[in-house]
């Protein structure tokens, strides 16, 4: 069956943007250049349409385009042409600003990895970057980019380089840097975590810039009791993977609330209640029992004794049923006639932060 891709790009709002006749005419010429006939009418007719929205004191634009793919081999080129249209709209100042986010709608998008792979390859060709998909519902995906911290297993066991024991130290340094912006404006601060054989990982605070500064080190040590180590820019770039931004470490080591998880190429949000129920599939050493099917009665017995589930919910059968249903629907677990088990590939699930395209662009380097 042919696939209809409904692709929408939202651009950042601008208080100075005016959707003038010249802009409309120039965009129409660009839309005709990238038009692809689809044998349909309206927004699915193959020619892009630009709409405007009022956001605060600014005007934001969005560009909608339909693509009909009769053959799977044509999908990447058709999607890539839509992405090229979005880029040229931005570069020629026909849109209100830079691309903020991109949404793709097609039937059963959540369960069609081949089509998602076509979108991912088209995105990489157009933007020279990798993308992931945030699943809004079964038919609607949002393209974005992720910062990967650790595997989901490492988060649940807390045995990776991100540990909550350092959260207080991180918070003190972050608060001091926010209060003294001018003093450290020429320097960037990072942490360098190192895994230890036993126990909590070691955490060193580092900073980089044009040259070391004893005043920076003295002020930082005096206000935060942390002595940062200077890293020359060349060494920092050569060992970039060893350094973690303060905000990233704070997010990755957070032990409350939910978290974003990357399941192969789709990002899903894991609720705090779901995190507690996932521990029911782990053994005494907090290792996931992959492939083992648990009867509902055994999971309920584990729930009643689990320290990871609130006391108010431990004896609730309804709580377990609702959370298990959510885990199955979100693809963290699968249901069989005999019971439930962790989803295939669970060991590869990643703990991440998902950013919309505009948010990712604004991240500090």
On the question of pLDDT at 192 being above 70, the answer is yes
What's the average model confidence in pLDDT over 14-29?
Answer: 93
User: Residue 12: which of 46, 51, 58, 44 has the closest Cα?
Assistant: 58
Pairing of strands 132-137, 266-270: parallel
pLDDT at 342: 96
Same domain for 11 and 122, yes or no, is yes
- d(Cα 18, Cα 28) in Å, to the nearest integer? 16
Domain range enclosing 319 = 259-349
- d(Cα 62, Cα 56) in Å, to the nearest integer? 16
CATH at 266: 1.10.10
Same domain for 292 and 181, yes or no, is no
User: Residue 305: which of 313, 90, 155 has the closest Cα?
Assistant: 313
pLDDT at 344: 94
**SS3 at position 16:** coil
CATH at 124: 3.30.70
Query: Of how many residues is the chain composed?
Result: 365
Point out the least confidently predicted range of 1-5, 87-91, 141-145, 245-249. Answer: 1-5
Structure token digits, residue 333? 């677990």
Same domain for 325 and 339, yes or no, is yes
pLDDT at 310: 93
Q: Band of the pLDDT at 44, cuts 50, 70, 90? A: low
What's the average model confidence in pLDDT over 125-132?
Answer: 92
Residue 104 lies in a domain: yes
Indicate the pTM of the whole model.
0.88
pLDDT at 364: 55
- d(Cα 89, Cα 286) in Å, to the nearest integer? 51
pLDDT at 356: 95
Residue 136 lies in a domain: no
Point out the least confidently predicted range of 74-78, 127-131, 302-306. Answer: 74-78
What's the average model confidence in pLDDT over 272-285?
Answer: 96
pLDDT at 69: 82
Residue 13 lies in a domain: yes
The share of the chain scoring above pLDDT 70, in percent, equals 98
Q: Band of the pLDDT at 10, cuts 50, 70, 90? A: very high
Residue 355 lies in a domain: no
Contacts of 83 (CB under 8 A, 6+ apart): 102, 122, 123, 126, 127
Same domain for 193 and 232, yes or no, is yes
Same domain for 41 and 78, yes or no, is yes
Point out the least confidently predicted range of 42-51, 250-259, 275-284, 347-356. Answer: 42-51
Residue 134 lies in a domain: no
Sheet strands side by side (includes 188-194): 229-230, 202-208, 188-194, 244-245
What is the rounded average pLDDT for all residues in the chain?
92
> Would you say 203 and 191 are in contact if contact means Cβ atoms under 8 Å apart?
yes
Residue 154 lies in a domain: no
Q: Band of the pLDDT at 4, cuts 50, 70, 90? A: confident
Same domain for 7 and 124, yes or no, is yes
pLDDT at 326: 95
Residue 357 lies in a domain: no
Read off the pLDDT of residues 324-341 as tens digits, 9 standing for 90 and up.
999 999 999 999 899 999
Same domain for 96 and 26, yes or no, is yes
- Residue 57 phi, psi (nearest 5): -95, 5
What's the average model confidence in pLDDT over 100-108?
Answer: 95
pLDDT at 193: 95
Read off the pLDDT of residues 215-244 as tens digits, 9 standing for 90 and up.
999 999 999 999 999 999 999 999 999 999
The share of the chain scoring above pLDDT 90, in percent, equals 82
Q: Band of the pLDDT at 258, cuts 50, 70, 90? A: very high
On the question of pLDDT at 354 being above 70, the answer is yes
pLDDT at 41: 65
CA gyration radius, the chain:
24
pLDDT at 329: 93
Per the structure, the count of domains in the chain is 3
- Residue that finishes a domain, picked among 254, 276, 291: 254
pLDDT at 113: 92
- d(Cα 68, Cα 6) in Å, to the nearest integer? 9
pLDDT at 242: 94
């Amino acid at each position: 069956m042919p696939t209809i891709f409904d692709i929408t790009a939202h651009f950042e709002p601008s208080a100075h943007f005016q959707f003038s006749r010249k802009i409309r005419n120039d965009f129409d010429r660009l839309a005709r250049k990238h038009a692809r006939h689809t044998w349909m009418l309206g927004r699915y007719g193959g020619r892009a349409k630009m709409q405007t929205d009022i956001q605060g004191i600014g005007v934001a634009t969005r560009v909608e385009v339909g693509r009909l793919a009769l053959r799977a081999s044509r999908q990447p080129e058709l999607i890539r042409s839509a992405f090229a249209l979005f880029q040229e709209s931005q570069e020629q100042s026909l849109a209100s600003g830079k691309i903020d986010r991109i949404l793709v709608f097609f039937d059963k998008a959540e369960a069609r990895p081949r089509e998602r792979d076509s979108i991912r390859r088209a995105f990489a060709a157009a933007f020279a970057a990798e993308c992931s998909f945030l699943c809004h519902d079964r038919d609607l995906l949002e393209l974005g980019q992720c910062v990967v911290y650790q595997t989901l297993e490492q988060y649940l066991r807390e045995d990776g380089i991100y540990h909550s024991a350092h959260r207080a130290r991180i918070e003190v340094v972050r608060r001091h840097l926010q209060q003294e912006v001018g003093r450290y404006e020429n320097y960037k601060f990072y942490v360098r975590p190192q895994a230890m054989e036993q126990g909590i990982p070691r955490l060193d605070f580092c900073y980089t810039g044009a040259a070391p500064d004893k005043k920076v080190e003295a002020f930082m040590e005096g206000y935060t009791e942390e002595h940062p180590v200077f890293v020359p820019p060349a060494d920092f770039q050569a060992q970039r993977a060893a350094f973690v931004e303060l905000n990233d470490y704070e997010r990755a080591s957070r032990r409350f609330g939910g978290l974003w998880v990357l399941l192969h190429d789709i990002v899903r949000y894991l609720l705090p209640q779901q995190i507690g129920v996932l521990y029911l599939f782990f053994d005494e050493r907090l290792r996931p029992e992959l492939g083992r099917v648990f009867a509902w009665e055994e999971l309920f017995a584990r729930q009643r004794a689990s320290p990871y589930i609130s006391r108010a919910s431990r004896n609730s059968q309804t709580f377990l049923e609702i959370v298990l249903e959510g885990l199955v629907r979100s693809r963290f677990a699968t249901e069989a006639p005999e019971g439930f088990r962790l989803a295939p590939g669970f060991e590869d699930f990643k703990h991440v932060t998902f950013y919309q395209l505009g948010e990712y662009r604004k991240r500090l380097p």
